[in-house]
Amino acid sequence: MQNRRAVVVGAGVAGLASAIVLSKLGWRVALLERRERLKGDDLGMILWASGVRALRALGVDATLDAAGTPVERFEIRNEERLSSSFAGAMLGADDGTPSVMVHTAMLYEALVSRLGDRVEVHPATQVDRIDMVDLAAGDASRRWNADLVVAADGIDSPTRPLIAPGSPTVDAGVVVFRGTIPAHRAPERGAEAVEVYGPDRRRFGYGDLGHAGACWWATVPGGMRPESPQIQHELINRWFADWPAPVGKYIAATRPSELTQQSVRYVWPVPPRLHQAAGNGGIVLMGDAAHGVAPILAQGASLALEDAVTLGWALRRTPESIPDALASYDRARLPRLKRVARLSRRVHTIASGGRGVTRGLLRAVPDSWVQSQAASLADWQPPR
Ligand SMILES: Cc1cc2nc3c(=O)[nH]c(=O)nc-3n(C[C@H](O)[C@H](O)[C@H](O)COP(=O)(O)OP(=O)(O)OC[C@H]3O[C@@H](n4cnc5c(N)ncnc54)[C@H](O)[C@@H]3O)c2cc1C
C-alpha cells in the first residue's frame, strides 16, 4: 500500500484519527481543513472506555497523552435524589480500561502530534468539490487526487446525501450551553460525571477536567438564543436557580466569555451504507458525517475514533482491494452504529418528554437496566 494516496476532508476527531491510521499503513495523506488552525475547542467531553481503547489503538493514551481524567462514577440524578449510578470501571469491565473526561483541545493536540510525516496538512482549505468518479477533492484553486476520499467533514457533510440520500439531520429541539472553568476558579469536584434531570425538560451535567479545570453542560428546550453571552449567562442562572448543589456553583464560577452554545441535531436513520466504490478506490463517510448521533449518551467522539480504527483494520485485511475493504468496513460498523444511534435517540426522546414523564421514568427504570445498556455501549474492542 506504499504508493496509495488518500485525501481526508475535515480535521475533527474523525479526520485526524483517519489520517493517523492511513499514514501508519504507509499511505500518503492530504488532510484538508477549512479552519485556519488544527485546534480543538475549549470544551470538556466524555470518552467512554470504547473510545479510550480506540485511542490506544492509534497510539494515544487518553490519560497520559491527552491528560484525560478517569471517571470513577457516572450518576444520574433528579432534583431530589440519586436515580441511578454505576462505576466507571464497570464500562471497561473486561480489561479495566477507564472512561475519561478530556479537554477537547488537549485531545486534538495529542492526535495532531501523531499525524507523522506522511500527512500533509492544508489548513484554511474549504473543500467545495469532491469528484466521486475520478476520485479527488479540492477547493476553488487546488485539487488532490486520491485512491480513497475520506469525508470526515461533520454532520452537515454534503457527501452523505450523495451516498445515503435517506439519512438527513433531525433537529433535536434542544440547545446545549457548555462552560469550561479554569482550575483556579473551578468548584471543588470529585471523580464522578453527573447529570441532573430537572423539570421542564432541562438537564445539567458536570465533571472534572483535572489540570484543565472543570466543565459543565446545560440542556434546555428550544432553539439557539440570540442574546449576548452576558444575558445568556443570566438566563442560565435563572433557569437553574434552586437546583441542588453544586449546580449554582458551576454557573457562578463561569464567566460569560467561557460559555459556548450549540444546537443539537442528529442523523436519522443511520445510512444503510457508509461508502461508495469508484474504480479501484472509493469514498467513505466517517464520524458525524456518517452518523452524528444525539449527544445525550456522549458517544460521538468515541464512535468517530472507532470508525477510524476499523477502517485501518479493513484496509489491512484486504490490502489488494479498496472496494472490498470498504465493504468489510460497512459490515463491521453498521450493526454497532445502528444500535448506538437507536439508543441515543430513544433516551433523547424520553428525556424530552413532558413534565413528570422523565421523572416518572427515572424512578421506574431499574439500575440494572441502565447499567446493562451502558455496558453494552462501551463494549467495543478494536477488530483483529
Ligand atoms: C452538545 C454536545 C456535546 C457533546 N458531548 C460529547 C461527549 O461528551 N463525548 C463524545 O464522545 N461526543 C460528544 N459530542 C459529539 C462529538 O462532539 C462529535 O461526535 C465529534 O466531535 C464528531 O467529530 P467529527 O470529526 O466527526 O466532526 P467535527 O468535529 O464536526 O469535525 C468536522 C471537521 O470538518 C471540517 N470541515 C467541515 N466542512 C469542511 C469543508 N467543506 N472543507 C474542509 N473542512 C471542513 C470542520 O471545520 C471540522 O474541523 C457532543 C456533541 C454535542 C453537540
Helix H or strand E encompassing 362: helix 357-364
Residue 290, ligand 1, Cβ within 6 A: no
pLDDT above 70 for 79: yes
**Cα separations (Å) of 138 from 7, 154, 284?**
9, 17, 16
Q: Which atom of ligand 1 lies nearest, measured to the CA of 293? A: 19
Q: Whose CA is nearest to atom 31 of ligand 1?
A: 12
Residue 176, ligand 1, Cβ within 6 A: yes
Rounded to 10 deg, the angle between the 104-112 and 13-24 helix axes is: 20
Of 197, 143, 205, nearest to 178 by C-alpha is 205
- Per-residue pLDDT of 5-52, as tens digits, reads 999 999 999 999 999 999 999 999 999 999 999 999 999 999 999 999
Domain 5-71+102-168+268-352 sits in which CATH superfamily? FAD/NAD(P)-binding domain (3.50.50.60)
Q: What is the mean pLDDT of residues 292-305?
A: 98
Of 206, 338, 356, 198, nearest to 271 by C-alpha is 338
Mutate to test the pocket of ligand 1, among 13, 46, 285 (most ligand atoms within 8 A of CB): 13
Confidence of residue 87 (pLDDT cuts 50, 70, 90): confident
CA of 359 to the centre of ligand 1 (A): 31
Dist. CA 309–CA 196, nearest whole Å:
33
Q: Which atom of ligand 1 lies nearest, measured to the CA of 304? A: 26
Query: Are 344 and 294 spatial neighbours (Cβ–Cβ below 8 Å)?
Result: yes
Lowest mean per-residue pLDDT among 99-108, 111-120, 369-378? 369-378
pLDDT above 90 for 279: yes
Residue 100, ligand 1, Cβ within 6 A: no
Q: What is the mean pLDDT of residues 299-309?
A: 98
Of 172, 351, 352, 346, nearest to 262 by C-alpha is 172
DSSP assignment string, 274-312: SEEEETTEEEEE-THHHH---GGG--HHHHHHHHHHHHH
The set of cell numbers assigned to 20 is 493517523
Q: Which atom of ligand 1 lies nearest, measured to the CA of 127? A: 42
Dist. CA 248–CA 15, nearest whole Å:
37
Residue 14, ligand 1, Cβ within 6 A: yes
Mutate to test the pocket of ligand 1, among 159, 288, 291, 377 (most ligand atoms within 8 A of CB): 288
pLDDT above 80 for 354: no
Mutate to test the pocket of ligand 1, among 33, 102, 142, 206 (most ligand atoms within 8 A of CB): 33
At residue 252, the pLDDT reads 98
Q: What is the mean pLDDT of residues 161-179?
A: 97
At residue 355, the pLDDT reads 65
- Per-residue pLDDT of 225-251, as tens digits, reads 999 999 999 999 999 999 999 999 999
